[in-house]
Amino acid sequence: MKSAEEKMRLEEERLKQEERDTLKKLSEQANEIGEKNSAEGVSLIEEKEDEDIRRPSVSVEETDEASAESKEELPSWETKPDTEKAVFNGLGWLKSICIGVLIGVLLVVFVIQRNNVYGSSMEPNLYEGDVIFAQKISTYFDNYKRGDVVILDGSNLEGYTHDEYLIKRVIGLPGETIKIENGKVYIKKVGASDFEELTEDYLAPGTITTVSGLGLAKGYNEITLSSTEYYCMGDNRVPSNDSRNLGPFSEDRVKGVALFRVYPFTSIGTVK
C-alpha cells in the first residue's frame, strides 16, 4: 500500500499536469484567434483599396470650375439690371449737382458777390457795364487797406438816392485826418503831427480833387475819422458822389472788396 505522502505527491503532479494542459490549450486557441483576425484585417484593407479604386475621383480643374460657376452666380454690378444701374447713376449725378449748388450758394452768400458798375465815377479803372467779383471775407474782420476798391451801401445817406451799391476807393483809414486842398489829398496818420500828400498813381494824369460847396459846408474837406469810419472817393473825381458829399462810410456799410473784372472779356483781370 502507498503511503499518504506518496499519494499527496502523485496528486500534486496530476494537478500540475492538468494546469499545463489547460495553458497549452488556451495558447493554441489564442494563436488561432490571432491568425483569424490578421486574415480578416488584410481582407478589409483589400476591400477598402478596391472601394477607393471604384470611387470616382474629382479633379482640381473640376473644383475650380465649380468655384467659378459659384462666383458667377453671385450678384455683381455687371449682373444688375440696366434700370437699377440707371437709378444708381442718376442718384450719383443728383448728389453731385446738389453738392455743387450748395457750394455755389455758400460762396455767393459768404465769400463772393457779383457787382455791375454803374456810371463813370471809377474811370479810367472801371467803366459802366463792367462786371466784377468782390470778396466778402474782409467784411467779417473789417480788414481794409488804403487803395482797396470797395463795394459800399449808400442807402439812407443824405445826398444818395439810388438803390445800387457804390463802388469807390478807400482813401482814409480809421483814426486818420483827411484834408483836401489845392486840388490834392493829404493824410495825417494816427499818431502823426503833420500831413503827408497822398500819392495816387491810379488817377488819370492831371486829375485834381476838389470839394463841393455842400461838402465844404459839412466840413468834409478836412475831417478826422472815428475808429470805425473810412473816407472813400471815386477815381474820376469830378462826377463821383463820395465822401466829399456823403461823408465818411462806417465799416458796416462796406459789403466787399473788388477783386476781378470778369466782363468785358477783353478786360478780364484784377481790379487795381
CATH architecture of 114-270: Ribbon (2.10)
Query: Rounded CA gap, 210 and 99, in Å?
Result: 51
Which residue shows C-alpha cell 496530476?
Answer: 14
Beta-strand relationship, 131-135 and 229-233: unpaired
Grid coordinates belonging to 150: 470797395
DSSP 192-203: -SS-EEPP-TTS
User: Which residues are within 8 A (CB) of 194 and not within 5 positions of it... i.e. 6 or more apart?
Assistant: 188
Let me know if 168 is a catalytic residue. Answer: yes
Predicted pLDDT of residue 249:
98
Residue 233 burial by Cβ neighbours in a 10 Å radius (0-12, 13-18, 19+) = buried
Length of the chain counted residue by residue? 272
From the CB of residue 189, how many other CB atoms can be counted at a distance below 10 Å?
Answer: 15
Predicted pLDDT of residue 231:
98
Predicted pLDDT of residue 59:
42
Residues 258/234, Cβ–Cβ less than 8 Å = no
Residues 261/268, Cβ–Cβ less than 8 Å = yes
From the CB of residue 97, how many other CB atoms can be counted at a distance below 10 Å?
Answer: 10
Let me know if 2 is a catalytic residue. Answer: no
What is the domain partition of the chain in residue ranges? 114-270
pLDDT tens for 36-76 read 655 555 444 444 444 544 444 444 344 444 444 444 554 55
Predicted pLDDT of residue 60:
39
pLDDT tens for 146-167 read 999 999 999 999 999 999 999 9
3-state SS record for 55-77: CCCCCHHHHHHHHHHHHHHCCCC
Enter the pTM of the model. 0.63
How far is the first Cα of the chain from the last one, in angstroms, to the nearest whole number? Answer: 159
SS3 of the chain: helix, strand, coil, percent, to 5:
40, 20, 40
Grid coordinates belonging to 208: 485834381
Annotated catalytic residue: which of 121, 179, 188, 243? 121
Residues of the chain falling short of pLDDT 70: 1-5, 7, 11, 15-16, 19-20, 22-24, 26-27, 29-91, 95, 100-110
Amino acid in the structure at residue 138: S
Predicted pLDDT of residue 61:
41
> Shortest CA distance to 167 belongs to which of 155, 150, 154?
150
Predicted pLDDT of residue 94:
73
Annotated catalytic residue: which of 16, 43, 48, 168? 168
User: Which residues are within 8 A (CB) of 188 and not within 5 positions of it... i.e. 6 or more apart?
Assistant: 176, 177, 179, 194, 195, 196
3-state secondary structure of 241: coil
Query: Rounded CA gap, 100 and 105, in Å?
Result: 9
Beta-strand relationship, 184-188 and 196-197: antiparallel
